[in-house]
Amino acid sequence: MDFKIVAEYFDRIENVSSRLEMTDILAELIAKVPKDEIKKIVYLMQGQIAPAFEGQEIGFGEKLISSAIVKATGFSRKDVDERFSKTGDLGTTAEQLIEGKQQGSLFVTELTVEKVFANLQRMSTRGGEGSQELKKKLLAELFNSASPTEARYIARIPLSNIRLGVGDPTIMDAFAIMIAKQNDKEFEEKKEDDRRKIKIELREQIENAYNVYSDLGEIAEILKEHGMKGLANVSITPGTPIRPTAAERLPSAKEIIEKLGKCAVESKYDGFRVMISKDNDKVKIFSRQSEDITDMFPEIIEAIQTQIKPKKCFIEGEALAYNNETNEYYPFQITIQRKRKYDIEKKAKEYPLKLFLFDVVLVDGKNMMNEPFRNRRKKLESIVTKGDIIELSEMKIIDDPGVLEEFFEEKIGQGLEGIMAKDLDAPYIAGARKFSWIKLKRSYKGTLDDTLDLVIIGYYPGKGKRTQFGLGALLVASYNAKKDRFESIAKVGTGLTEDTLVELESMLSKIVSKARPVRVISEVEPDYWVEPKYVIEVRADEITQSPMHSCCKKEGKGLALRFPRMTRQRGDKLAEQATTNKEVEKMFSIQKRVSMDYRQN
Ligand code: ATP
């Protein structure tokens, strides 16, 4: 397929602001893409060239892209830099300069999706051929054959930021529309309500498949080749991560027992969530973002072979640094030190990890996702042998709020985060936050005592002492999962250490956007908008109603945070895994409820 057609569709998508319209255009594009090229298009839209767990990353620096533009257009570095400082986007810069160049050139060979993809693959970090010079040449080659619109995307793709405003939910919606139209030629003539119902149903099935097989490119290919019936064969597979389940919140032991009745209550450990796939001697560890983080955990890989009996399985747990001398858990700040590329063996000796397993979803080819938790836990207990590294999460069956409260206090006393209560009858609900898991952290006393994971959507350069860091405060947003949008909720200026300021400034300055990014909703204007990419953890005193912020805005009132402060970066979360509007609304209502109880007592 000609890349030009794709670029023209991308251009149309970029120029509409209604998500419905955007989805329709995308559905039209994917209907046109041949089945052997759909994977590539989906990955490119995700800012990737392969599923995240394969580690074939693109995401090069601006310098490389600028050099390639210089090489391809003949403009000087100064010209490129000047244009870039005006446009704020290397894509537009490339587009304008290629346009200038083309007035003088006659020969343009057609670019194909295959060619664009092949060059990007050769440039990629894993399996790529290396040197900066070669990367520049491969990119310049693409610019040489590109039309101005194509050049815009060719520049943005290797930055891993195509700026279409299309996230995974929108891609899945577009597939649902494409299938609906294929299945029923009269689909467009149906009543709005009927069309919506059909779309929702199809989308749900597509998402269910994606939840157990985190490769949207592969799912897309199956849909193109076999339609919805192809999804019946999509199942949990060793080597491919699933999308993790998540926990709801309730404010007290009493409400948890009211909701679940007799339930399993476990310690809530504060470390790395790990999904482990064992396929004989091939062990892989995935993060909650579906990235392959196997190399970070040499001691766990070793222990899997000795402590986990089945040859094939998929298990889940939390890994954290543990002091064997004192039998104490280290705080998260120590565990996180393992997140590094070098000297892992040294860190492993200094702060060895323990792995607390809490779930199993596949054993020797048997998919256990639909088994009730009580059976999965029993299975888990039967497949782990005693050893130094791997243990089961501590668990008690409890049906009494008083006993739950006691267990909770005991865990807090041991330096843990709190507890996780689990519905004994619930299946493993991949990719969703449901009441099958409920978390309880330190007790709420009428103020907000849980943290939120929020997406940075903008920043302000520092004032006074902070000028030197180029960053003084952040504008952050929660995620509106229904609309696939990020809605402003707070400006965060405290909790940022000098090191964090420096690090964040360097990360954020690379993803600055001249205008408000399409997926961002905010009436508060920061000095610099950034693409919604990075997540930070924020603690606040309270959720309040405010006309300023856009989160959950109704009748002119949104939700905002009072006294927000950053507690840490959440590099393990994708923007789409940030706290959702629905969660903020629930936290707000819990806060109101508890605040009333508290006052009454
Ligand atoms: P939090 O910041 O509260 O950890 P989160 O958004 O990171 O929230 P949630 O899904 O809300 O994640 O909470 C579940 C997380 O708690 C899991 O991702 C996992 O990392 C961690 N965890 C610790 N102990 C357990 C346990 N026993 N069972 C399940 N999850 C656990």
Cβ proximity of 457 and 479 under 8 Å: no
- Estimate to the nearest angstrom the gap between the alpha carbon of 545 and the chain centroid: 27
Kindly list the distances between the CA atom of residue 245 and the CA atoms of 342, 356, 577, in Å, as whole numbers in the listed order. Answer: 31, 17, 11
The ligand 1 atom nearest the CA atom of 271: 20
Ligand 1 pocket test: pick from 318, 358, 436 the residue with the most ligand atoms within 8 Å of its Cβ.
318
Taking CA atoms only, the protein residue closest to ligand 1 atom 17 is 273
Taking CA atoms only, the protein residue closest to ligand 1 atom 26 is 268
Spatial separation of the C-alpha atoms in residues 577 and 167, rounded to whole Å = 12
Quote the ligand 1 centre to 497 CA distance (angstroms): 25
Residue 273 is labelled as binding a ligand: yes
Which pLDDT score is estimated for 303?
A: 96
Residue 542 is labelled as binding a ligand: no
The ligand 1 atom nearest the CA atom of 573: 7
Q: Which helix (H) or strand (E) covers residue 247, if one does? A: strand 246-249
Spatial separation of the C-alpha atoms in residues 92 and 400, rounded to whole Å = 62
Ligand 1 pocket test: pick from 439, 448, 569, 582 the residue with the most ligand atoms within 8 Å of its Cβ.
439
Quote the ligand 1 centre to 125 CA distance (angstroms): 31
Residue 318 is labelled as binding a ligand: yes
The one-letter code for the residue type at 327 is N
CA geometry: angle 274, 279, 281, nearest 5 deg: 100
Taking CA atoms only, the protein residue closest to ligand 1 atom 2 is 451
Quote the ligand 1 centre to 585 CA distance (angstroms): 20
Quote the ligand 1 centre to 185 CA distance (angstroms): 45
Spatial separation of the C-alpha atoms in residues 128 and 143, rounded to whole Å = 19
Which pLDDT score is estimated for 386?
A: 95
Residue 439 is labelled as binding a ligand: yes
Quote the ligand 1 centre to 247 CA distance (angstroms): 7
The ligand 1 atom nearest the CA atom of 288: 18
Quote the ligand 1 centre to 437 CA distance (angstroms): 9
Maximum CA extent, the chain: 82
Q: What is the pLDDT of residues 327-362, one digit of tens each?
A: 788 888 888 888 877 888 888 888 889 999 999 999
Quote the ligand 1 centre to 159 CA distance (angstroms): 31
Q: What is the dihedral sign for C-alpha 363, 366, 372, 374?
A: negative
Quote the ligand 1 centre to 273 CA distance (angstroms): 7
Token pair recorded at residue 467: 């000028």
Spatial separation of the C-alpha atoms in residues 455 and 570, rounded to whole Å = 9
Spatial separation of the C-alpha atoms in residues 263 and 400, rounded to whole Å = 10
Of residues 442, 392, 443, 377, the one with CA closest to residue 416: 442
CB environment 86-101: b (16+ within 10 A), e (fewer): eeebbbbbbbbbbeeb
Spatial separation of the C-alpha atoms in residues 390 and 388, rounded to whole Å = 6
Q: In which residue ranges of the chain is pLDDT below 70?
A: 102-108, 125-130, 443-449, 594-601
- Residue 106: count of CB within 10 angstroms of its CB: 5
Any residues with Cβ below 6 Å from ligand 1, and which? 246-247, 266-269, 273, 288, 318, 358, 393, 420, 439, 451, 453
Of residues 31, 79, 408, 56, the one with CA closest to residue 254: 408
Spatial separation of the C-alpha atoms in residues 275 and 258, rounded to whole Å = 31
Of residues 590, 257, 588, the one with CA closest to residue 405: 257
Catalytic residue among 268, 278, 553, 573: 268
Q: Which helix (H) or strand (E) covers residue 273, if one does? A: strand 272-279
Residue 311 is labelled as binding a ligand: no
The ligand 1 atom nearest the CA atom of 244: 18
Ligand 1 pocket test: pick from 250, 269, 440, 539 the residue with the most ligand atoms within 8 Å of its Cβ.
269
Question: For helices 132-145 and 62-73, what crossing angle results, to 10°?
Answer: 50
- Estimate to the nearest angstrom the gap between the alpha carbon of 125 and the chain centroid: 20
Taking CA atoms only, the protein residue closest to ligand 1 atom 25 is 268
- Estimate to the nearest angstrom the gap between the alpha carbon of 187 and the chain centroid: 33
The ligand 1 atom nearest the CA atom of 246: 10
The ligand 1 atom nearest the CA atom of 537: 2
Which pLDDT score is estimated for 600?
A: 47
Region of 170 (left: φ > 0; alpha: ψ -120 to 50; beta: rest) is alpha
> In this structure, what DSSP letter does residue 8 have?
H
Taking CA atoms only, the protein residue closest to ligand 1 atom 20 is 273
At 471, is the secondary structure helix, strand, or coil? coil
DSSP per residue, 39-72: HHHHHHHTT-SS-GGG-------HHHHHHHHHHH
Question: For helices 192-212 and 216-226, what crossing angle results, to 10°?
Answer: 120
Which pLDDT score is estimated for 582?
A: 95
Of residues 419, 426, 380, the one with CA closest to residue 396: 419
Q: Are strands 272-279 and 282-286 parallel, antiparallel or unpaired?
A: antiparallel
DSSP per residue, 399-461: --HHHHHHHHHHHHHTT--EEEEE-TT----TT-EEEEEEEE-SPP-SS--S-EEEEEEEEE-
User: Cα dihedral angle (86, 91, 94, 98), rounded to 10 degrees?
Assistant: -120
Question: For helices 90-102 and 148-156, what crossing angle results, to 10°?
Answer: 150
Place of tokens 């543990």: 322
Taking CA atoms only, the protein residue closest to ligand 1 atom 5 is 246
Q: What is the pLDDT of residues 213-271, one digit of tens each?
A: 999 999 999 999 999 999 999 999 999 999 999 999 988 899 999 999 999 999 999 89
Of residues 156, 152, 157, 144, the one with CA closest to residue 49: 157
Residue 221 is labelled as binding a ligand: no
Residue 346 among the catalytic residues: no
**What are the structural domains, with CATH classification, of the chain?**
48-159 (1.10.3260.10), 246-412 (3.30.470.30), 451-600 (2.40.50.140)
Residue 288 is labelled as binding a ligand: yes
At 479, is the secondary structure helix, strand, or coil? strand
Which pLDDT score is estimated for 599?
A: 44
Q: Are strands 312-323 and 328-329 parallel, antiparallel or unpaired?
A: antiparallel
